[in-house]
């Protein structure tokens, strides 16, 4: 029984890391219809800037806030330069531009922070907690809490506030939104800044567990992707649920089948979901009129 | 007149809403049938059901005796049914000539293998497609613009291009979804001329149209839909006198 | 505006193509004897292929730094019987294809010998190309012991295995679990260890693997816990090695954990800071120079570390030492008057036998692969520093 | 070349002869074996990008997983020639056939997806393939890779010598180019481009769109497998990291930068990107003393710029002046006129 608990706990820990990134993906996709391959890189920038500030002696909270701000500004610059110009080109070109941005940011990360992994002391220094036989890392509880807070904040922001519904309107029908006086390009800029900030928060939270290197962006980015697609590309709660599911899937397949193929199984599920429910498990089906 | 197209009780429900209910009519060989009705009467839904773009909730359509509903879309062309689209589906990056040559696909036996090894079959096919395309282009008078990118053409010319592409392989039955929409008078008459010319060659038409003048002039028989139901069927003169039609659709503008 | 950008872009791209062509002929004219311009014969070139970036840079970075250090020392020492020695370093970015291209580049530069490939799999990749040209290859990663006509500077995994067995015997442990990363380095450890373990009736009760870039190994460790081993052996580079150690401690294991020599570096120490009791690493004596008994070995290692520290104010690790041994052997061969690949080959094969390198003493004539165990030992960790046991 | 083809597709002999001439001339100009290796790799990668260009440029389907098919070819050749001692040529053919069928089976469900979803699904395929070759280490040598793959020999002529292998690779590349040109310059080429513009319209014209899409997907996979086998025999060693997503992305960038719109663009793109990589690294190391992967900064920047200002790729930029040079349009209308008079319409 206690083995099961350990798998669940680890699954949720890993899942919540992917969830933090999935939120960043969904925000950008939700508003601009662009799948931003460079989302993982924002996490890297957030994490490494925070570490640099902490090593420079700033208090932890100040460096976290600065790191998020820097990452958000980089997100804005990326949007204004690369994305704005090519907003209405084909899907393939947009994918390549975001890949170009991701390569560029990774290169900058290499130049500024070098190759060896850097550590970040966790925010709360606590011994691992034993709970029903499973060992829980305090940092992952912290991640879980932040995840729930973010979910609530984003829910209120998107559903309740004017800007939030304007952002959603932009994605559904940019032309109509324009008629209503909403400017899709500022909305897209807002979306990228928001996504970059969310990416930074994700990066800062996961570094105490995974350490930060200039290369960390890509893989966790892809996993965040998978979570979002499985959960549902159009709803933030759907994406978070999807990401948690990916985490659990990975740990249970690792535990019971073999750690060899846990990644392969996750991607197999991704492909099955893409076939049968392209809009994700938790989203309503939507047809397309000829 | 042997029955070319028989529609038997086609119905379509989207969730609770019944877009089209229990519609039946026939189209004979060499006959032009128009489908009219106010906006939202279910004309395009009916049209899509006949051309197998939408699977009906129940009811079937038969073409030359064999069942049409449930066929795959590419199968229609091989049976000799062509169709055009309300919102103009042409190939923007291809030239006018290439667009029209695409229409000849059913007549060709090209596949990836014999294309790759450039078997003689390919050159013969190219020749067939080119000749067929030339005839169609000549009919709609687009010779001068043959090598222009289709995307650059004006809306009216693109409508003509789509029409030319539909008639290239000489189908027996052409379904036109608002062929005259967005055309000025001169272009409308020209399009009507093409339809008449092809009718004389024995091709039958089913088309959806809002321009009453063209419908009255072209159609042998007219079917009137209102809120998904067939409220009238008959020759243009009968329809003009039919009280229900006037009430539902023509209303005050009786000529 | 668009027209302007288009012309700028197409102009810049034409420029790049022109540069490409010029780069071609610049390359072909044996491009880079920038320093002393005279004919090729006066400069002896030694090639070096290390992973300065990419995942394996945790090991390759210090090796690449060492090339700069030894090049400075060679320039200061002036010419060796009339010949200048130039070391050409290629960073293959942990990508085997780039390593093979780099090998081709070095061959076309006319290098007489190559020290190379931070990773075992990459060394095997460049071996056929380099030995095909009759150029001696000094490998710095534990390549499979049977590989022919190469000079292995790194201790073979058999040597590492016997070190671990010695440690297990001292702490009378007979049931071990093995966990390794699924990359070129990780998979090499187990085959040799299994052989040696069978001879000393040590049972391997569990074997788990993890993706080299994975960030959480609790599942693998939980599977291992089910088999309750008396010790856990980890074969992986950092950062993976560090994450396993952290998860190991978080899950409350109280049995010893033994890590491969790839963890004997500063990066690993930082990863397991303040949480590293009962964690041991196979490390070279270089890491514990001050705790060594005084003697010739201690002074040599101390000098090596001081030189490295003055230039890079960080410590070298045993992978730097392997590269250093490779270069020193080659320089010794050149000092003995051998300037072509064949001379160096038979110098290394016949004349030199005993050689006390930085990571242990070599016996090049014997078929013992790599240095003996005297250069390495199982090191513990005490208040975040390496601890040497007699 | 028949009048009709000249009218429809314009001239293809001149660029082909230009390329053949270039390939023949290069070995005499380039002496350093390093540049030679790059030229050989360009030949191998062009075979992949040609197939990908048909798939992306013409049929409009994106694939972020072609390194998997490249890998299947490499590993089939590697495994069959090392552990089963098969002749390399037989292994090469088996590789292509197996990849064709695997791609066909995968293609049927996958090509129903569009845009981002298709990109993600192919990405998934690539990762699953990567994990499989890592996992099956008895067969594929796993992470340690597969060593000792014999080099090719053609009628007794050992292809270990760079020059022979260079000509062998480029003849294969030219054959693949010819094949692709034939496909593009026929009705099938038009079908693919019409699928790219509007699938629905193509279907109403009687085209079974799925079959064409899957056929091209499988064909481009077979090309990638051919290149994979040649790569394995050239490098004589294969390891999983070479067939990861980063390689698929590299192929995609080569096609798009070269210009997906034309088959020639694929070869141009491959050459430009390969040289770009080497130049930036060469300049980076010698002049700025920066080392390592730093060139990806410049690399990423160039990709962004090209995609923003030259979405149609370099081929488009180069082919425009050529068109103006020959006043292509006039030639077409004139020859078309006498076509009609000849037919007596």
Phi-psi region of C370 (alpha: psi -120 to 50; beta: other; left: phi over 0): left
CA of A154 to nearest chain C CA: how many angstroms apart? 27
Q: Identify the closest residue of chain D to B111 by CA–CA distance.
A: D188
> H or E stretch including D57?
none
pLDDT at residue C329 in the model? 85
Least confident of B246-255, C5-14, C142-151: C5-14
Contact A207, A47 (CB under 8 A): yes
For residue A215, list chain C residues with Cβ-Cβ distance below 8 A. Answer: 54-55, 213
pLDDT (tens digit per residue) in B143-169: 888 888 888 888 888 988 998 988 888
pLDDT at residue D7 in the model? 67
C55 interfacial to chain A (CB closer than 8 Å): yes
Of D32, D143, D279, Cβ closest to residue C186: D143
Query: Which residue in the block uniquely carries the two structure tokens 């594929």?
Result: D140
Of C9, C24, C184, Cβ closest to residue D144: C184
pLDDT at residue C35 in the model? 35
Of D188, D189, D208, Cβ closest to residue B74: D208
The yes-or-no verdict on residue C120 having pLDDT over 60 is: yes
Contacts by D112-117 with C-beta closer than 8 Å and gap 24+?
D112/A275, D112/D210, D113/A274, D113/A275, D113/A278, D115/A91, D115/D62, D116/A35, D116/A91, D116/A95, D117/A229, D117/A274, D117/A278
Q: Identify the closest residue of chain D to B103 by CA–CA distance.
A: D205
Q: Give me D111's structure tokens.
A: 């090509």
Q: Which of D323, D18, D8 is nearest to D189 (CA)?
A: D8
- Strand C360-363, strand C175-181: pairing: unpaired
For residue A290, list chain B residues with Cβ-Cβ distance below 8 A. Answer: 48, 53, 85
Q: Which of C142, C139, C115 is nearest to C330 (CA)?
A: C115
Contact D49, D257 (CB under 8 A): no
Kindly report the pTM of this predicted structure.
0.86
Distance CA C331, CA C74 (A): 9
Is residue C390 helix, strand or coil? coil
Contact C329, C151 (CB under 8 A): yes
DSSP string over B175-205: EEESTTTT--HHHHHHHHHHHHHHHHTT-EE
Distances, alpha carbon A193 to alpha carbons A31, C182, C251, in Å: 12, 37, 38
CATH no., domain A2-276: 1.10.3470
Contact D32 C96 (CB under 8 A): no
CA dihedral C249, C253, C259, C263 (to 10 degrees): 0
Q: Across all residues in chain C, what is the average pLDDT? A: 80
- Structural domains of chain B, with CATH: 1-80+171-255 (3.40.50.300), 91-169 (no CATH)
The yes-or-no verdict on residue B255 having pLDDT over 60 is: no
Q: How many CB atoms lie within 10 A of CB C327?
A: 24
- Structural domains of chain C, with CATH: 41-156+317-372 (3.40.50.2300), 157-287+375-388 (3.40.50.2300)
**Weakly modelled stretches of chain D, pLDDT under 50:** 1, 344-345
Residue-level pLDDT, tens digit, chain A, 290 residues: 677 888 888 888 888 888 888 888 888 887 777 888 888 899 999 999 999 998 888 888 889 999 999 999 999 999 988 888 777 778 888 888 888 899 899 888 888 887 777 888 777 776 777 777 777 778 888 888 888 898 888 888 888 888 888 877 777 777 787 887 878 788 888 888 988 998 999 888 888 877 888 888 877 788 888 888 888 777 788 888 888 998 888 888 887 777 777 778 888 888 888 877 766 666 655 544 44
Is residue B21 helix, strand or coil? strand
Bridge partners (DSSP) listed for residue C152? C139
Q: Give me B86's structure tokens.
A: 């309300």
CA of A285 to nearest chain B CA: how many angstroms apart? 13
Distance CA C353, CA C366 (A): 8
Q: Give me A80's structure tokens.
A: 């204004």
C28 interfacial to chain D (CB closer than 8 Å): yes
pLDDT (tens digit per residue) in C77-105: 887 777 888 888 888 888 887 888 888 88
D55 interfacial to chain B (CB closer than 8 Å): no
User: Using only C-alpha atoms, what is the Rg of chain A?
Assistant: 19
Distance CA C17, CA C296 (A): 57
CA of D187 to nearest chain C CA: how many angstroms apart? 33
Q: Identify the closest residue of chain C to A8 by CA–CA distance.
A: C219
Angle at the Cα of B37 from the Cα atoms of B18 and B204, rounded to 5 degrees? 105
Span C346-375, average pLDDT: 77
Contact A117 C213 (CB under 8 A): no
CB interface of C with D, residues 38-97, below 8 Å: 52-54, 57, 64, 89, 91, 93-97
pLDDT at residue A196 in the model? 92
The yes-or-no verdict on residue C27 having pLDDT over 50 is: no
pLDDT at residue D54 in the model? 92
Q: Mutation test of the interface with chain C: which of A10, A85, A141, choosing the one with the most C Cβ atoms within 10 A?
A: A10
Q: How many CB atoms lie within 10 A of CB C40?
A: 11
pLDDT (tens digit per residue) in C213-257: 777 788 888 888 888 899 999 998 888 888 898 888 888 888 899
Residue C315, burial from CB neighbour count under 10 angstroms (0-12, 13-18, 19+)? middle
A290 interfacial to chain B (CB closer than 8 Å): yes
Of D187, D203, D333, Cβ closest to residue B74: D203
Chains A and C touch (3+ CB pairs under 8 A): yes
For residue B48, list chain D residues with Cβ-Cβ distance below 8 A. Answer: none
Span C156-176, average pLDDT: 87
Distance CA B218, CA D320 (A): 47
Contact B236, B216 (CB under 8 A): yes
pLDDT at residue D344 in the model? 45
Span C324-341, average pLDDT: 84
Span B103-120, average pLDDT: 81
Contact D272 C186 (CB under 8 A): no
> H or E stretch including C42?
none
User: Using only C-alpha atoms, what is the Rg of chain B?
Assistant: 19
Contact A236, A29 (CB under 8 A): no
For residue C208, list chain A residues with Cβ-Cβ distance below 8 A. Answer: 259
Contact A271 D110 (CB under 8 A): yes
pLDDT at residue C33 in the model? 36
B88 interfacial to chain A (CB closer than 8 Å): no
Give C312's contacts (C-beta < 8 A, 6+ positions apart).
C62, C65, C69
Q: Identify the closest residue of chain D to B170 by CA–CA distance.
A: D205
Residues, chain A: 290
Least confident of B197-206, C311-320, D223-232: C311-320
ipTM comes to 0.83
């Amino acid at each position: 029984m206690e083995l099961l608990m350990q798998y669940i706990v680890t699954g949720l820990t890993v899942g919540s890391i992917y969830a933090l990134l999935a939120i960043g993906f969904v925000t950008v996709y939700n508003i601009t219809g662009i799948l931003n391959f460079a989302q993982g890189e924002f996490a890297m920038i957030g994490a490494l800037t925070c570490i640099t500030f902490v090593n420079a002696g700033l208090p932890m909270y100040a460096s976290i806030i600065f790191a998020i701000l820097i990452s958000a500004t980089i997100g804005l610059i990326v949007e204004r330069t690369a994305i704005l110009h090519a907003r209405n080109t084909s899907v393939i070109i947009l994918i390549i531009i975001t890949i170009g941005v991701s390569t560029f940011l990774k290169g900058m990360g290499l130049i500024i922070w070098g190759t060896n992994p850097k550590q970040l002391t966790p925010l709360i220094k606590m011994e691992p907690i034993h709970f029903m036989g499973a060992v829980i890392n305090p940092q992952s509880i912290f991640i879980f809490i932040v995840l729930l807070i973010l979910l609530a904040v984003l829910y209120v922001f998107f559903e309740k506030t004017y800007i939030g519904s304007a952002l959603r309107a932009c994605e559904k029908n940019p032309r109509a939104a324009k008629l209503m006086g909403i400017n899709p390009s500022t909305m897209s800029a807002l979306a990228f800044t928001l996504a970059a900030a969310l990416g930074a928060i994700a990066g800062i939270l996961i570094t105490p567990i995974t350490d930060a290197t200039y290369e960390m962006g890509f893989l966790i980015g892809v996993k965040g992707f998978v979570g979002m697609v499985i959960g549902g590309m159009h709803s933030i709660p759907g994406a978070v649920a999807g990401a948690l599911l990916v985490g659990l899937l990975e740990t249970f397949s690792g535990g019971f089948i073999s750690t060899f193929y846990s990644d392969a199984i996750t991607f197999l599920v991704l492909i099955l979901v893409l076939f049968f429910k392209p809009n994700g498990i938790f989203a309503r089906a939507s047809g397309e009129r000829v | 007149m042997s029955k070319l197209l028989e529609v038997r009780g086609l119905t379509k429900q989207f969730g609770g809403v019944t877009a089209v209910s229990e519609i039946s009519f026939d189209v004979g060989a060499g006959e032009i049938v128009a489908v009219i009705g106010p906006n939202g009467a279910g004309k395009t839904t009916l049209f899509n059901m006949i051309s197998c773009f939408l699977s009906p909730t129940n009811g079937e359509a038969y073409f030359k005796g064999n069942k049409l509903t449930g066929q795959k879309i590419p199968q229609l062309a091989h049976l000799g049914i062509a169709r055009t689209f309300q919102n103009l589906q042409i190939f923007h990056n291809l030239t006018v000539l290439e667009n029209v040559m695409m229409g000849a696909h059913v007549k060709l036996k090209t596949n990836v293998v014999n294309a790759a090894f450039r078997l003689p079959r390919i050159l013969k096919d190219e020749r067939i497609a080119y000749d067929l395309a030339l005839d169609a282009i000549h009919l709609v008078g687009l010779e001068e613009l043959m090598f222009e990118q289709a995307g650059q053409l004006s809306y009216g010319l693109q409508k003509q291009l789509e029409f030319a592409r539909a008639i290239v392989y000489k189908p027996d039955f052409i379904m036109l979804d608002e062929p005259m929409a967005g055309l000025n008078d001169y272009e409308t008459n020209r399009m009507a001329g093409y339809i008449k010319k092809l009718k004389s060659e024995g091709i039958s038409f089913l088309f959806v149209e809002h321009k009453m003048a063209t419908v009255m002039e072209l159609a042998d028989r007219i079917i009137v839909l209102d809120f998904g139901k067939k409220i009238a069927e008959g020759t243009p003169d009968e329809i003009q006198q039919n009280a229900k039609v006037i009430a539902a659709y023509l209303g005050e503008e009786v000529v | 505006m668009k027209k302007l950008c288009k012309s700028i872009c197409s102009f810049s791209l034409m420029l790049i193509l022109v540069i490409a062509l010029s780069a071609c002929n610049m390359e072909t004219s044996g491009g880079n004897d920038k320093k002393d311009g005279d004919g090729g014969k006066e400069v002896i070139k030694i090639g070096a292929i290390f992973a300065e970036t990419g995942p394996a840079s945790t090991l390759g970075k210090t090796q690449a730094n060492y090339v700069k250090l030894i090049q400075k020392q060679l320039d200061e020492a002036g010419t060796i019987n009339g010949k200048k020695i130039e070391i050409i370093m290629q960073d293959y970015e942990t990508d085997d294809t780039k390593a093979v291209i780099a090998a081709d580049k070095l061959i076309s530069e006319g290098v007489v010998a190559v020290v190379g490939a931070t990773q075992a799999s990459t060394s095997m990749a460049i071996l056929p190309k380099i030995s095909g040209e009759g150029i001696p290859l000094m490998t710095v990663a534990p390549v499979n012991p049977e590989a022919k006509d190469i000079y292995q500077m790194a201790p073979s995994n058999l040597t590492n295995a016997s070190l671990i067995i010695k440690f297990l015997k001292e702490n009378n442990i007979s049931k071990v679990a093995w966990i390794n990363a699924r990359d070129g380095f990780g998979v090499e450890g187990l085959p040799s260890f299994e052989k040696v373990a069978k001879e000393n009736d040590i049972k391997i009760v569990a074997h788990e693997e993890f993706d080299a870039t994975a960030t959480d190994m609790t599942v693998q460790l939980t599977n291992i816990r089910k088999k309750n081993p008396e010790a856990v052996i980890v074969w992986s580079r950092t950062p993976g090695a560090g994450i396993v150690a952290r998860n190991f401690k978080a899950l409350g294991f109280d049995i010893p954990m033994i890590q491969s020599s790839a963890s004997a570096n500063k990066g690993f120490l930082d990863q397991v800071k303040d949480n590293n009791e009962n964690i041991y690493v196979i490390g070279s004596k270089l890491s514990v120079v001050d705790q060594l008994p005084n003697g010739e070995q201690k002074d040599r290692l101390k000098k090596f570390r001081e030189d490295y520290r003055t230039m890079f104010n960080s410590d070298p690790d045993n992978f730097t030492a392997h590269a250093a041994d490779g270069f020193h052997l080659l320089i010794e061969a050149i000092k003995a008057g051998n300037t072509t690949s064949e001379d160096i080959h038979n110098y290394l094969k016949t004349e030199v036998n005993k050689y006390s390198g930085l990571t242990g003493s070599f016996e090049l004539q014997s078929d013992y692969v790599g240095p003996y165990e005297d250069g390495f030992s199982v090191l513990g960790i005490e208040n975040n520093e390496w601890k040497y046991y007699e | 070349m028949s009048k009709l083809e000249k009218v429809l597709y314009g001239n293809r002999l001149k660029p082909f002869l230009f390329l053949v001439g270039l390939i023949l001339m290069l070995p005499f100009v380039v002496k350093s074996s390093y540049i030679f290796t790059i030229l050989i790799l360009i030949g191998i990668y062009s075979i992949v990008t040609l197939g990908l260009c048909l798939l992306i440029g013409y049929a409009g389907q994106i694939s972020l997983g072609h390194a998997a098919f490249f890998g299947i070819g490499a590993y089939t050749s590697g495994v069959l020639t090392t552990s089963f001692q098969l002749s390399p040529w037989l292994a090469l053919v088996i590789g292509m056939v197996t990849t064709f069928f695997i791609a066909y089976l995968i293609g049927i469900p996958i090509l129903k997806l569009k845009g981002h979803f298709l990109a993600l699904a192919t990405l998934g395929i690539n990762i699953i393939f990567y994990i499989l070759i890592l996992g099956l280490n008895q067969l594929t040598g796993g992470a340690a890779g597969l060593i000792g793959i014999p080099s090719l020999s053609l009628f007794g002529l050992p292809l270990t010598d760079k020059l022979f292998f260079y000509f062998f690779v480029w003849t294969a590349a030219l054959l693949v180019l010819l094949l692709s040109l034939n496909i593009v310059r026929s009705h099938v080429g038009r079908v693919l481009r019409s699928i790219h513009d509007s699938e629905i319209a193509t279907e109403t014209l009687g085209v079974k769109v799925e079959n064409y899409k899957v056929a091209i997907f499988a064909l481009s996979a077979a090309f990638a497998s051919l290149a994979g086998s040649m790569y394995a025999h050239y490098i004589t060693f294969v390891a999983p990291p070479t067939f990861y997503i980063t390689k698929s992305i590299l192929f995609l960038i080569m096609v798009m930068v070269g210009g997906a719109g034309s088959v020639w663009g694929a070869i141009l793109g491959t050459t430009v990107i390969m040289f770009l990589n080497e130049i930036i690294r060469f300049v980076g190391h010698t002049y700025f003393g920066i080392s390592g992967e730093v060139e990806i900064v410049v690399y990423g920047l160039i990709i962004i710029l090209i995609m923003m200002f030259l979405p149609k790729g370099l081929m488009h930029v180069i082919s425009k002046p050529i068109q103006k040079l020959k006043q292509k349009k006039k030639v077409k209308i004139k020859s078309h006129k006498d076509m009609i008079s000849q037919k007596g319409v």
